[in-house]
Amino acid sequence: MGTKLPFVPRPFAGEMLSSWLRRTAAEYAVSLKHLTHHLELSVSKPMEIDHASTRNDIERAAAALSVTAAEIRDMIHSPLKMPFIRLREMYLPVQVCTRCRASHARSTAEPVAIKAWFEYWQIECQQCTLPFSPPGGTNINRCNPAREEPEWFGQILPSARRGAAQLKRFVLTRHRPSVSPIAILRLLSMRLGPPASTEPWLPWPTRRRSGSHHCIAELFLPGLRERLNQHPLVQTLWTERRPVRLVTARTILYAAMANFLADPMAAYRRTVDALAWPRRQAVERWLDQLPEHSVRVLSPQSPLD
Amino acid sequence: MNPDPSHLAPAAAALLRCTDGERIAVMREERWITYPRARRSLELLNDLLARPRTTRMPGFAIYADSGMGKTMLMERFRRAHPASFDSAERRLITPVLALQMASHPTERRFYGQLLTTIGVPFPPRATVLDLETQALRNLRRMEVKLLMLDEVHNILAGSAKEQRILLNLLRYLSNELQISLVCLGVAEARQAIGGDIQLARRLDELLLPRWQGDEEFQELVLAIVRNLPLKAKSQISARALRQVLQLTDGLTAGIFSLFNALAIDAVTSGAECISDDSITAWQPTSRTAAAFA
């Protein structure tokens, strides 16, 4: 079925189909649009190729590039299986692996796009396990503390990997855990006021400054409080509308999420105990918005029972 | 009925288990039967393919009347040497490349046709230089050793200048890529290739004349009959063979289609063999003018 190209450049590990086709087109001195037309694909723009290729397109591309259809399917984004429209791969890369990018640049003059760079649940390169960096990393404000403080981030990395895998499974498959990782991430990125029992409740404006950069995640990650005093790493709530955060914030939140989900009931109790009245009310409102089965898992004594 | 298949070639004998409809369908399909003359031609082409690359690659010019099986021969040889994919270097290795000369071949059309045959995309507004660069680059990558060009007499459709350019191009391709050329065409093809003395000297002539009532023709008929899945053994006399030559003008295509038609009639009537009587009684459903070249 379809045309077989006499030569195809080798794909890079984890490369997107559009990126590979663009490099192949360059090999024949034609545009991506011309190549897709030559291969009789119904899609021609990179975003369409990676997000909207049909089964027919996949089979034609596989025949032309001398690979299997399964290999082509691995090179495009998964079809959306969950009703969370916003929880899917991004249209632009949200992170890059600087080492892989340098390696690509040595082999080809064409830009290379790696699938994991579009997946916000990834925190490190699957090829060289280097923590991802934000794209366009020349800006000092977009530096990656995961690389600058490798010792501390190295400690939380195993938990962060677990958390990233839990989120990936939730987003890409029909697996529905008792408590949604999305809801937990939202809780963990909420502001944490001064601990109810140990610190006095400071008056305005000291109160605002004191609690502005602290989040609930620090209850589940030792040493995070000190880092948050130096850098405002988790600035805004993790929501379905905005699932993308700098890779640093994601690493922290995923590690805290994995620790939280290890024993959700105890973790919720600990969260509530650590909060003073105004913050506790916000968390109770968060709990009220959860499905009934999730509330039972987190707080069996809840009025729902 | 459990017929003795000893009068048939193994492939044809295997078809005796099929229904009449299936056997007729197989007979109507285009298929290759190796007969002595074709075998010799294929052996010559194989020898050519096996030769090492040199600065002056030899080749063949195969001349025959229309209907003598030049295209089938080319297709058979191409299929015998299919492309394989080198997964380490991610490229197709194609030792034999076959294409038909366009009706009005020019340098641009020839390169376009060549690139289309090997599956290379090219922009329609590409210059001749772009097309040439892509063609050379990909033919070299594909390790093509033998380029077969059918209907070479079509070169004569162009102006004298176009003919000159195209013959130069063929010689250039052969020199640059160190590939052998096999040109197939009717008698006029000799005139076309003769336009370039250097090219003509490189190509050994191979003629496929029309069949005559000799031993070679008997071997052809024997090969055809052995490959027709008929349950009974066919008996054909020398007189009937002469009649076949008369009916088909000694053209390979005509001989094959005559025996196919007779075999289909034999299956339909239940006779299950071809006899002198069936040849004598045979009337073509339509009479096509013989192609004399």
Taking alpha carbons only, the member of A124, A141, A143 closest to residue A132 is A124
| Percent of chain A at pLDDT exceeding 90 | 44
Lowest mean pLDDT among A108-122, A140-154, A177-191: A140-154
Q: Does A68 touch chain B (CB under 8 A)?
A: no
Q: Is the pLDDT of residue A196 over 80?
A: no
- Identify whether the C-beta of residue A22 lies closer than 8 Å to the C-beta of residue A110: yes
B85 neighbors A66 (Cβ within 8 angstroms): yes
Do A29 and B130 lie within an 8 Å CB cutoff?
yes
Inter-residue contact B237 to B50 (CB < 8 Å): no
User: What residues in A contact B141, CB-CB < 8 Å?
Assistant: 6-7
Question: Which chain B residues contact residue A34 at CB under 8 A?
Answer: 121, 123
Q: How far is A37 from chain B (nearest CA, A)?
A: 9
A34 touches chain B (CB under 8 A): yes
Instruction: State the Cα–Cα distance between residues A231 and B264, nearest whole angstrom.
Output: 89
pLDDT tens readout for residues B237-278: 999 999 999 999 999 999 999 999 999 999 999 999 999 999
Residue A197 above 60 pLDDT? no
Place of tokens 């677990």: A162
pLDDT reading at A1 higher than 70: no
Q: Which amino acid is at A186?
A: R
Listed in sequence order, the DSSP H helices in chain B are: 10-14, 20-28, 36-50, 70-80, 107-118, 128-141, 160-177, 188-194, 197-202, 215-226, 238-248, 252-269, 276-281
Q: Structure tokens of B49?
A: 């393919």
* The pLDDT of residue B288: 56
pLDDT at residue B101 tops 70? yes
**B263 neighbors B228 (Cβ within 8 angstroms):** yes
Residue type, A86: R
Q: What is the ipTM of this complex?
A: 0.81
Q: What is the pLDDT, as a whole number, of residue B76?
A: 94
Q: How far is CA A114 from CA A88, A95, A96, A168, B227, in A?
A: 16, 10, 8, 17, 56
* Burial class for B221, CB neighbours closer than 10 Å (0-12, 13-18, 19+): buried
Threshold 0.95, pTM exceeds: no
Gap between the Cα atoms of A129 and B262, Å rounded = 73
pLDDT tens-digit readout, A217-247: 989 998 888 877 777 777 777 877 777 777 8
Q: For all residues of chain B together, what is the average pLDDT? A: 91
